[in-house]
Amino acid sequence: MSAYNIIDHEYDVLVVGAGGSGLRAAVGLSESGLKTACISKVFPTRSHTAAAQGGISAALGNAGEDDWRWHMYDTVKGSDWLGDQDSIEYLCKEAPQAVIELEHYGVPFSRTKNGKIYQRAFGGMTKNYGNEPVQRTCAAADRTGHAILHTLYGQALKHKTEFFIEYFALDLLMKNGECKGVMAWNLNDGTIHRFRSHITILATGGYGKIYYSATAAHTCTGDGNGMALRAGLPLQDMEFVQFHPTGLYGVGCLISEAFRGEGGFLVNSKGERFMEKYAPKAKDLASRDVVSRSMAIEINEGRGIGEHKVSHSFTY
């Protein structure tokens, strides 16, 4: 006999997480006619996708010549040649159509004078395989993630996705090595719920909040990783956490990459523009790993700013 009164639910597909990935999965599944549920520990439009400011990259070519192959090259190079190149090829090849799809869903992208989706320069984005910077990042002002999240939530509701909001996923239901659903805790009234499903999709976000200073929200605690690990499923590449180079130390407040895309540059305590030394071509628009490492070198050599010499200054 169970110590708790367990409330049962059955669905074709269960999506855990209601950020950009989870909502897009829910939209596609519901649209295809599958009975779909989405559980989230926060209200969907409070998911961390809302914090993504700068934009989403796709080789649309609205601000000059561009090619998905150049995008792929930049992404492989930006991964320090460690990325899964089949996945990167698919990502970059499909990105233009995915952005157009978001536009058709209703994402209010900023526009150029001739009505096309506005694109801005972002770190690591080049044309002709690293030759010169290119404007590839599609933006909705400085709140692109917020716009995408609200639009996808509206589409999910339109296609009858059932939401269980402020439900905390506890563990995967496993049978003979297969996932059959999820146990969840209703944070509102403390009840325990058993969600049975033919397919379970984990879209639970990252685990950046394990670090002292990070731009990740307090909700980014790796819940999905923990559930998978407890279920005996393997995890890989856990060390590859991308750090956004520019933020306020100790506070975890993001300074958008758009600052550098619009002409801002980094200086050290001597007022020197140091990225020219580490990335002579891309300079302040080098990929995030390069900018992060360059900043770390400057700080470790005593050229950081502030009381503890742990940060850098932006200049226009």
Cβ proximity of 134 and 66 under 8 Å: yes
Span between the terminal Cα atoms of the chain, in Å: 67
| Cα angle for residues 215, 216, 220 (degrees, 5° grid) | 170
Q: What angle do CA 310, 56, 218 make, to 5 degrees?
A: 50
The CA distance from 256 to 278, in Å, is: 21
Residue of 194, 288, 293, 303 marked active site: 288
**Which DSSP letter does residue 124 get?**
E
User: Do residues 206 and 222 make contact, with C-beta atoms less than 8 angstroms apart?
Assistant: yes
Q: In terms of Cα–Cα distance, which of 265, 279, 275 is closest to 298?
A: 275
Q: Tell me if residue 288 is catalytic.
A: yes
Catalytic residues: 288
